[in-house]
Amino acid sequence: MSKVFVITGPSGVGKGTLIARLLERVPGLELSISATTREPREGEVDGRDYHFLAPDEFDRRIAAEDFIEFATYSGHRYGTLRSEVRNRLEEGHSVVLEIEVQGARQVRAAMRESVQVFIAPPDPASLRRRLESRGTDSLEAIDARLEVAEQEMAAQGEFAHTVVNDDLDRAADELEGIVRAEIGIPLDSGANDQTTR
Ligand code: ADP
Ligand code: 5GP
């Protein structure tokens, strides 16, 4: 059964890392590529990591009602294009959205059947450690993200599922279990299930 999965949680918690594992493990699951007005980081590719849009182009797409949801995060705009989700669902795939909390709320309102998962850190200090070790953001950008993280953590109770990303392997197994249960694919039926558990 095709479903929309919303994966949210504070910056640096490990959403991207967990989703990369999830996509390797669960057949038929695809990531929606978001649009953003922020600058590409080193190594990011337009159309693969994000659709990088100029602010006026983002505005044009808002006016055209091209977005399912959009939000401002840390001074930049981010949004999910309807076409990203619709095309994948029409092809029979399930879709993962990796988005922040305001966007997750909008998707919850627009698509009540979406499955909402909050990824939480084992403790607040791990967020700073992980953002610093990732090495993609300036100290100012990290501080700004951690400020937003406090508000995001307060929203945890709104989500149907919470996965604490303490040990990566354990958290990846738990997230995979949630997704497989929702899609109705048991653990032993995927082509990619050759890892030892
Ligand atoms: P997000 O997408 O939520 O911003 P990332 O997936 O980029 O977070 O992860 C942030 C950093 O934390 C990365 O360097 C990643 O390798 C690391 N990381 C992810 N999960 C864990 C974990 N369970 N334990 C320790 N480090 C982790
Ligand atoms: P980053 O700049 O680290 O790539 O992303 C910053 C934040 O924006 C993260 O919390 C990420 O999940 C969120 N984000 C990415 N794409 C979207 C989107 O399409 N919509 C919303 N609302 N948030 C997004």
Span 31-67, pLDDT tens digits: 999 999 999 999 999 999 999 999 999 999 999 999 9
Q: With 70 as the cut, is the pLDDT of residue 173 above it?
A: yes
Whether 25 is in the pocket of ligand 1, judged by its Cβ within 6 Å, is: no
Residues 6+ apart with CB under 8 A from 36: 50, 51, 52, 53, 76, 77, 78, 79
**Ligand 1 contact, 120 CB (< 6 A):** no
Indicate which residue's Cα is closest to atom 12 of ligand 1: 130
Q: What would the pLDDT profile of 82-135 be if each residue is shown by its tens digit?
A: 999 999 999 999 999 999 999 999 999 999 999 999 999 999 999 999 999 999
Q: How far apart are CA 182 and CA 22, in angstroms?
A: 14
Q: Which among 119, 131, 77 has a CA at the least distance from the CA of 102? A: 77
Angstrom distance (rounded) from CA 186 to CA 140: 44
Q: How far is C-alpha 166 from the chain's CA centre?
A: 18
What's the rounded Cα separation, in Å, for the pair 59 and 77? 10
**Cα pseudo-dihedral 3, 4, 10, 12, rounded to 10:** 70
| Cα–Cα distance measured from residue 7 to residue 159, given in angstroms and rounded to the nearest whole number | 10
Enumerate the H helices of 91-167 as residue ranges.
101-110, 125-134, 139-154
Token digits of residue 94: 């399930």
Answer yes or no: pTM beyond 0.85.
Answer: yes
CA distance 84 to 93: 11
Residue list, ligand 2 pocket, CB within 6 Å: 11, 15, 34, 38, 69, 71, 73, 78-80, 98-100, 102-103
* Per-residue pLDDT at 166 exceeds 90: yes
Query: Closest ligand 2 atom, CA of 71?
Result: 22
Residue 99 Cα to ligand 2 middle (Å):
5
Distance CA 42, CA 53 (A): 16
Of the chain, the end-to-end C-alpha distance in Å amounts to 26
